């Protein structure tokens, strides 16, 4: 098996690849039985947004998109993924998935999406070690596989809340039956890097548990996810607040203001940000109708704003056609950070305080999305392994929010709308 | 009068035989059945059990291990099997397996080219279960579908 340690994930990936190769070598005597299957998926699409005061993006790691920065563009959802599944013994298998999509650097650099070893302890209980898919929402595992989903993209109001797609750690899955109802319980623990256009960070102590109940045509899923998030670039702001506060504390008349700055630094210290998601979802898919919905309650603190989101999709299979309608919405609790009072400060110092206040406000208010979308589209299974989709989304922004969009310009009107049109082709091979 | 009756009877029988022959060779009416080896410990399966086994939702029936095998994609018998027992069209089945393959949760059954290959596979391993055209059933296999 070929391994290609990519610069950013160097050490960790080398370890993973070594593990895979070691497994391969350890079972050299069973070489005849090792099978490696290659498969893949992809999407090519064109997206246009009617509102040119801000950019539509397919996920929060993309730096720009159609709207202000671009006209018709393929960046939101176009991607290619290649997957290698290796069966080493009857119990040990491994998977490597590499995906190329529009990333936080505005490039399509291939990244290792998954690289893990799976051990089947019993036919119903498996354990995976390495980089696995992060299973927060119902179709989180396959959010990148257009062919597996009815819509062009999973409703962003729900799916953008947790913008990480994988976890480096351990994951386990146990399947059992309760009175004829299949139940699959999954739990995981790990960490991930956060790479966004504006900042980088780390998600640690990430864990989750979810259960999927299979009632035949109806599938119901409930889950809980928790992580600690720290943002490296926010550290600069807190250093600034701490420095400012310490300096002012040395000057007796300004000491109280200095203390406020120090308190703000402590209060909003990004290393204490806890992110949770409590989720509930269901799919009813008897073969004719398709009805699918999810609800997600996002707990946040400090610089991130709590949010709640949900969507409902209804579609109907007419032969190879699947027209569908979706309504999705996200609301967030507005958090306005306390400010460093500027009255009574000498001009240059007041200027510094104002700058720090603006930076703090920008950090907090940039994270609370509020929008809703009515979406109409259709999927056409035109030939084997290929489908075409046409989707129109009417997005309405709430309050001051720029919703799930970014790069809002000074002429952005709060409460305005955007009509996003997407033409996509998905394929699997 | 008697001879014309017999003539008409013969004509009727001949027409009926022809119609029967047409029905037998017309793919729209070909019946698909689920089979295992005649010596297999796997017993009769319900429609739900068949669906669960072929969708990879379970690997045991009762306490017996079962391993499903498929006919190749595009095969008319395969499409008919999945429509009849699982209620999924070919693209719906593909999307279903895409979800499992690309989430690392499972792989579809091994694909075989024709009825004969399926019969050989079920006889090579008594835990294997496959589906073939009803007309291909012989003494080496037993039917386990309802």
The Cα A95–Cα A41 span in angstroms is 15
Reported as a single tens digit per residue, the pLDDT across B28-82 is 446 899 999 999 888 899 988 999 999 998 888 888 889 999 999 989 999 999 9
Q: What are the Cα distances from residue A93, in Å, to A11, A89, A176, A411? A: 22, 7, 21, 54
Q: What is the pLDDT of residue A8?
A: 44
Mind telling me how many Å the CA of A142 is from chain B's nearest CA? 6
Predicted TM-score (pTM) of this structure? 0.81
Complex ipTM more than 0.90, yes or no: no
Count of CA atoms in the C-beta half-sphere (13 A) of A322:
28
Query: Which residues have a Cβ under 8 Å from the Cβ of A147 and sit 6 or more positions away?
Result: A41, A385, A387, A426, A427, A428, B94, B95, B98
Q: What is the pLDDT of residue A119?
A: 96
| Contact flag B101-A85 (C-beta cutoff 8 Å) | yes
DSSP state of A9: G
- Model confidence at A58: pLDDT above 90: yes
| Contact flag A81-B102 (C-beta cutoff 8 Å) | yes
| Cβ burial, residue A410 (10 Å; 0-12/13-18/19+) | exposed
- Model confidence at A234: pLDDT above 90: no
Q: Quick one: average pLDDT of A183-187?
A: 95
Q: Quick one: average pLDDT of B11-23?
A: 48
User: Over chain A, what is the mean pLDDT?
Assistant: 87
Q: What are the Cα distances from residue A354, in Å, to A77, A94, A245, A347, A367? A: 39, 54, 13, 10, 21
Exposure string (b/e) for A163-178, b if CB count within 10 Å is 16 or more?
A: ebbbbbbbbbbbbeee
Q: What is the pLDDT of residue A1?
A: 37
What band does B25 get if pLDDT is binned at 50, 70 and 90? very low
Which element (helix H / strand E) includes B11? helix B2-25
CB-based contact (8 Å) between A389 and chain B? no
Q: Which two tokens stand for residue A180?
A: 């004829």
Mind telling me how many Å the CA of B85 is from chain A's nearest CA? 12
Reported as a single tens digit per residue, the pLDDT across B70-112 is 999 989 999 999 999 998 889 889 989 998 888 878 889 999 9
- Model confidence at A417: pLDDT above 50: yes
Pairing of strands A289-299, A273-284: antiparallel
Nearest CB to A384 within list B73, B102, B107: B73
- Model confidence at A41: pLDDT above 60: yes
Q: Which of A35, A98, A147, A166 to mutate: most B Cβ within 10 Å?
A: A147
The Cα B139–Cα B114 span in angstroms is 18
Q: Are the C-beta atoms of residues A89 and A67 closer than 8 Å to each other?
A: no
Least confident of A9-23, A49-63, A189-203: A9-23
Nearest to A216 by CA among B49, B24, B9, B12: B49
| Contact flag B91-A118 (C-beta cutoff 8 Å) | no
Reported as a single tens digit per residue, the pLDDT across A117-129 is 999 999 889 999 9
Residue A384 with chain B: CB contacts under 8 Å: 73-74, 90-91, 94
Q: Are the C-beta atoms of residues B109 and B128 closer than 8 Å to each other?
A: no
Mind telling me how many Å the CA of B8 is from chain A's nearest CA? 45
CB-based contact (8 Å) between A287 and chain B? yes
The Cα A103–Cα A6 span in angstroms is 15
Q: Quick one: average pLDDT of A272-286?
A: 92
Reported as a single tens digit per residue, the pLDDT across A67-101 is 999 999 999 999 999 999 999 998 999 999 999 99
Pairing of strands B67-71, B110-112: parallel
The Cα A78–Cα A69 span in angstroms is 17
Q: What is the pLDDT of residue B3?
A: 54
């Amino acid at each position: 098996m070929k391994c290609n340690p990519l610069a950013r994930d160097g050490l960790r990936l080398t370890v993973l690849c070594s593990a895979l190769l070691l497994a391969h070598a350890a079972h050299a005597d069973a070489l005849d039985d090792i099978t490696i299957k290659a498969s893949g998926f992809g999407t090519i699409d064109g997206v246009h947004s009617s509102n040119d005061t801000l950019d539509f993006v397919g996920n929060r790691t993309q730096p720009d998109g159609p709207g202000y920065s671009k006209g018709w563009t393929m960046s939101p959802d176009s991607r290619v993924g290649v997957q290698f599944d290796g069966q080493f013994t009857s119990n040990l298998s491994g998977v490597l998935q590499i995906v190329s999509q529009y990333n936080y650097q505005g490039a399509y650099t291939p990244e290792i999406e998954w690289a893990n070893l799976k051990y089947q302890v019993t036919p119903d209980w498996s354990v995976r070690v390495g980089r696995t898919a992060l299973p927060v929402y119902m179709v989180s595992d396959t959010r990148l596989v257009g062919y597996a989903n009815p819509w062009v993209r999973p409703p962003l109001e729900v799916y953008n809340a947790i913008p990480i797609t994988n976890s480096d750690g351990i994951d386990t899955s146990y399947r059992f039956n309760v009175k004829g109802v299949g139940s699959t319980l999954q739990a995981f623990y790990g960490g991930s890097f956060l790479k966004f256009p504006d900042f980088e960070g780390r998600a640690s102590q990430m864990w989750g548990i979810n259960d999927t109940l299979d009632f035949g045509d109806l599938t119901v899923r409930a889950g809980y996810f928790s992580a600690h998030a720290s943002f490296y670039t926010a550290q600069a702001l807190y250093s600034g607040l701490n420095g400012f506060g310490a300096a002012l504390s040395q000057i007796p008349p300004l000491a109280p203001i200095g203390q406020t700055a120090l308190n703000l630094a402590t209060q909003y210290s990004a290393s204490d940000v806890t992110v949770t998601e409590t989720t509930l979802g269901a799919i009813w898919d008897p073969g004719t109708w398709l009805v699918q919905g999810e609800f997600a309650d996002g707990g946040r603190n400090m610089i991130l704003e709590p949010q709640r989101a949900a969507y409902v999709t209804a579609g109907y299979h007419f032969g190879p056609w699947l027209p569908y309608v979706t309504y999705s919405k996200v609301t967030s609790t507005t958090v306005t950070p306390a400010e460093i009072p500027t009255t009574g400060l000498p001009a240059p110092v007041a200027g510094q305080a104002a700058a720090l206040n603006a930076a703090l406000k920008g950090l907090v208010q940039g994270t609370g999305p509020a929008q809703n979308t009515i979406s109409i589209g259709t999927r056409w299974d035109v030939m084997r392994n290929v489908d075409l989709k046409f989707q129109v989304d009417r997005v309405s922004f709430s309050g001051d929010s720029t919703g799930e969009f970014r790069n809002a310009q000074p002429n952005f009107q709060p409460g305005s709308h955007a009509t996003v049109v997407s033409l996509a082709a998905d394929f699997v091979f | 009068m008697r001879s014309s009756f017999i003539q008409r009877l013969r004509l009727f029988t001949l027409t009926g035989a022809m119609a029967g022959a047409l029905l037998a060779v017309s793919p729209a009416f070909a019946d698909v059945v689920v089979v295992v080896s005649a010596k297999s410990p796997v017993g009769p399966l319900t429609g739900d059990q068949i669906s669960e086994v072929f969708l990879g939702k379970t690997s045991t029936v009762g306490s017996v291990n079962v391993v499903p095998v498929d006919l190749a994609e595009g095969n008319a018998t395969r499409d008919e099997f999945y429509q009849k027992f699982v209620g999924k069209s070919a693209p719906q089945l593909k999307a279903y397996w895409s979800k499992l393959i690309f989430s690392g949760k499972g792989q579809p059954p091994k694909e075989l080219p024709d009825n004969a290959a399926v019969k050989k596979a079920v006889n090579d391993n008594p835990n294997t279960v496959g589906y073939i055209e009803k007309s291909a059933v012989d003494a080496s296999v037993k039917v386990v579908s309802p």
